[in-house]
Amino acid sequence: MDSFVSWLCEQLTNSRNNNLAMRAAVGALTILLRREEARLLFGQHGGIGYLTKLLKMQGAGANAQLLYELTFCLWTLSFCEEVKYNFLEQGTIAVLCEQVTAAPREKVVRVSLATLRNLCEGEADVYNTAIIGCGLPKTLKNMRERQWADPDVAEDVEAVYSALMNNFRELSTFERWAAEVNGKNLKFGLVHSEKFWRENAAELEANDFALLKALIELLKSDESEVVSVACYDLGEWVRFFPNGKSIVKNLGAKDLVMAKIEDQDADVQRHALQCMSKIMVQQWEFMR
């Protein structure tokens, strides 16, 4: 089975070159992942990351059946405790929340909600925080008022909403930022501003700069907005944290940012250049 799973992962990786092979691989996975041992094996091969990347690639005119099959595969994997943490590491939670909000088709919403339900029930504080950080409670509150053709959707809406509200509290701005970083879902907004970093720069010192290291890792993301926001946040952090410039250089951030100055995306180039200037210049405010 190991060689078959490896082959399937290869087809998912090469989806841009061979769409037919990718579709065949996804179809095979919807059957294979009904077996528990296959879920663990596929998860250990990085399967959640491959599926998440494919979902992100689909865009506005996505094929609803393909979205359903990819999300169905993620739903089966959400039953496997050994690989659940990958839903956080690969930014999958944010993608599932976006699908629920966008509601491309009822069956896609249903399987997305069912996956989130598996993640957020029980001892799942870290998953709940990520889901709340994506703003899903507000969406679910509105969805509770709707009539659904499939009763399973209404049941899952209620279950996820109840699980989130059980221990709900309004996240602080820093907790929202941390949820974005942990969910690999950085988007420009209130938690990416000069005011935010002036007030919260010191928070990144905790746990041997764990969140700073996670932010630096996001400079390697395939998503342009994630990289742009990571460059902005990193540049602001070095402005407001004592000795921040030396710390990011020692963690290898300088080389990663430098490489992004030649990125194909103009916004990434601009933010990388500004970040590099903040790392190198002593008094940035006089340069603006």
Instruction: DSSP letter for 45, please.
Output: T
* Cα dihedral value 260, 203, 139, 128, nearest 10: 110
- Separation between Cα atoms, residue 197 and residue 244, nearest integer Å: 12
Confidence band, pLDDT 50/70/90 cuts, at residue 261: very high
Cβ contact 145:172 at 8 Å: no
Residues 192-228 pLDDT 10s: 999 999 999 999 999 999 999 999 999 999 889 999 9
| DSSP secondary structure, 81-125, as one string | GGGTTHHHHTTHHHHHHHHHHH-SSHHHHHHHHHHHHHHHSSS-H
Residues 225-238 pLDDT 10s: 999 999 999 999 99
Q: What is the pTM of this model?
A: 0.72
- Using DSSP's 3-state secondary structure scheme, residue 261 falls into coil
Residues 131-174 pLDDT 10s: 888 889 889 999 998 888 888 899 999 999 988 887 666 677 89
pLDDT at 149: 84
Nearest alpha-carbon partner for 77 in 48, 117, 44, 107: 48
CB atoms within 10 A of CB 38: 21
